[in-house]
Amino acid sequence: MKKFAIVLAAGKGTRMKSRDPEHSKVSYPILGKALVNYVLDAIAPVGLDETIVVVGFGGEATRKLVEDRAKVVWQKELVGTGNAVLQVKKILENREGATLVVCGDTPLITTETITRIFNVHGKTKNHLTIVTAVLEKPSGYGRIIRDPKSNYVLAIKEDKDCTPEEKEIHEVNAGIYIFDNKALFDYIDEINSNNAQREYYLTDLIGIFKRNEKKVGAYVVEDAVEVFGINDRVQLAYAGKVIRKRINNKLMLLGVSMEDPDSTYISLDVEIGRDTIILPNTTIFGKCKIGENNVIGPNTYLDNVEIGHENTIQSSWISDSKIGDNNEIGPYTKMRAGTVIGNHCRVGNFVELKNADLHDGVKAAHLSYIGDTRVGEKTNVGCGTITANYDGFNKMRTEIGENVFLGSGTILVAPITVENNSFTAAGSTITKDVKTDSLVIARARQVEIEHGYTTFMNKAKAKKEASKK
């Protein structure tokens, strides 16, 4: 059986209250991924022969988000879900198969559930299988009206069209349906807009199918959270929480420890090895790949970072960098794009690295800026060392060899090379290359003035008294 999918993503999202009049609801992100792409990710693995996204309001933005994975169809007038599906008629009407219709604002739906619904639909030979959920607070959703005797679904009544008795029904329409494709497009033109919202409701097809003796069945989802629809920002935040919890649970079951999963924010593409421990208030975004037996956090932010094994990374901010094994990073290290750390390094508090390549065993333990620099094996970067890599126009490189000892407060004015086994005296401003096996001192020589203290203080006191007269 061929499988098709129509994702409804044209609606306005008025309740998101954005100041941008073109902001489509389905383009709001959770952990950097748009709502509509959660839906597409969930449905794709069932093996679809055609996927079509209906866009309308803010449609340009939605189109860009999905065009590499789905056909895009425009709904010009946003007059309801029935009219949205009608726009697909020209593409699908002559095909045989089953058509999944799903709202683009339900990011919690899972592949397992979609697979199960397709199976039920196939086995029952329904012309329409609607997905329902039993909710504690059903308000806002369309209610499922069942025949009291046979329990068959008779209709879906939209919240705004319900009588007070119907509003008491807790079984709701999830906004997910599987149709026999032929039947769907044979009858879709019969939908009209005689209702409270003057809209073409897709749900009217239930009554239409019934009248035409087509078989309608319902599938009740086990976990109602899967069909949670996002209409405002409170719901957006809630869905984010559910998604983060799913990611964290999956990682923990694979052998990652989290001291406080509620304050651990990990995005979808992150890989973490076994026995790594994540401490509270840690955010791991982008395409991070983290090895085994690391301790990360507390209060750490990682974005697009590759990390080996056995590292400790505390209270630090690291992006677009690569870290080997057995390193000690932080607290309060900032690592920016292009930084590469070897093995057995120590990068300490208030050290900022940018495009820096630290070979094995380097120590930069306190208060430094190292940018556009290579640092050779076992070099010690003394406290307060700075690479002056920028002249206001150009970025320039600093090359530091192996086993170098940079004294505290060394300033290296780039471009500059410091060769292996050399030494810079504390407080030196280095403007010329440093040769192997040399000790350079580049600071004013210290002078000592005998009784200088008394002489200076007396002069200062006299000056103050003179000014009072």
Site for ligand UD1 in 382-401 (CB under 6 A): none
Task: Tell me if 70 contacts ligand UD1 by CB under 6 A.
Answer: no
Residue from 79, 135, 145, 295 touching ligand UD1 (CB under 6 A): that is 79
Distance CA 268, CA 287 (A): 8
Distance CA 294, CA 206 (A): 55
170 in active site: no
Tell the burial category of 232 from Cβ atoms under 10 Å away from its Cβ (0-12, 13-18, 19+): middle
Task: Tell me if 229 contacts ligand UD1 by CB under 6 A.
Answer: yes
Q: Please give the angle made by the CA atoms of 8, 67 and 141, to the nearest 5 degrees.
A: 15
Binding region for Mg ion (CB under 5 A): 229
Q: Please give the angle made by the CA atoms of 366, 382 and 432, to the nearest 5 degrees.
A: 135
Question: DSSP string of 244-275?
Answer: HHHHHHHHHHTT-EES-GGGEEE-TT-EE-TT
Binding segment toward ligand UD1, per CB under 6 A, in 122-130, 172-180, 182-190, 434-442: 172-180
The one catalytic residue in 127, 309, 366, 451 is 366
Residue from 201, 209, 219, 369 touching ligand UD1 (CB under 6 A): that is 201
CB of 262 to Mg ion, least distance (A): 27
Residue from 270, 314, 324 nearest 31 by CA: 270
Contacts with ligand UD1: how many residues (CB under 6 A)? 29
Q: Is 321 left (phi over 0), alpha (psi -120 to 50) or beta?
A: beta
Residue with structure tokens 């504690």? 136
Task: Tell me if 141 contacts ligand UD1 by CB under 6 A.
Answer: yes
Q: Which residue is nearest to ligand UD1 (CB)?
A: 142
Binding segment toward ligand UD1, per CB under 6 A, in 113-121, 170-178, 330-338, 356-364: 170-178
The structure tokens listed for 379 are: 């070099």
**Measured CA distances, 443 to 19, 140, 366, 369, 385 (Å):** 58, 75, 21, 20, 14
Task: Tell me if 291 contacts ligand UD1 by CB under 6 A.
Answer: no
Task: Tell me if 132 contacts ligand UD1 by CB under 6 A.
Answer: no
Distance CA 345, CA 333 (A): 13
9 binds, among ligand UD1, Mg ion, none (CB under 5 to 8 A by kind): ligand UD1
CB of 139 to ligand UD1, least distance (A): 10
Residue from 70, 86, 105, 313 touching ligand UD1 (CB under 6 A): that is 105
Task: Tell me if 158 contacts ligand UD1 by CB under 6 A.
Answer: yes
CB of 247 to ligand UD1, least distance (A): 24
Binding segment toward ligand UD1, per CB under 6 A, in 98-106, 317-325, 354-362, 396-404: 98-106
Residue from 435, 381, 387, 379 nearest 407 by CA: 381
SS3 341: strand
| Residue placing its CB nearer to ligand UD1 in the complex, 83 or 294 | 83
59 binds, among ligand UD1, Mg ion, none (CB under 5 to 8 A by kind): none
Residue from 304, 310, 280, 305 nearest 292 by CA: 310
Strand-pair partners of 166: none
| Residue placing its CB nearer to ligand UD1 in the complex, 202 or 345 | 202
84 binds, among ligand UD1, Mg ion, none (CB under 5 to 8 A by kind): ligand UD1
Distance CA 172, CA 145 (A): 9
78 binds, among ligand UD1, Mg ion, none (CB under 5 to 8 A by kind): ligand UD1
Site for ligand UD1 in 41-60 (CB under 6 A): 54, 56
Task: Tell me if 371 contacts ligand UD1 by CB under 6 A.
Answer: no
| Helix, strand, coil % over all residues of the chain, rounded to 5 | 25, 30, 40
CB of 183 to Mg ion, least distance (A): 25
CB of 103 to Mg ion, least distance (A): 6
Residue from 46, 72, 78, 413 touching ligand UD1 (CB under 6 A): that is 78
Site for ligand UD1 in 4-23 (CB under 6 A): 8-11
Q: Other C-beta atoms within 10 Å of 160: how many?
A: 11
Residue from 78, 82, 126 nearest 101 by CA: 82
Instruction: Please identify every residue annotated as catalytic.
Output: 366
Question: Which residues here bind ligand UD1, judged by CB under 6 A?
Answer: 8-11, 54, 56, 75, 78-81, 83-84, 103-105, 141-142, 156, 158, 172-175, 201-203, 229, 231
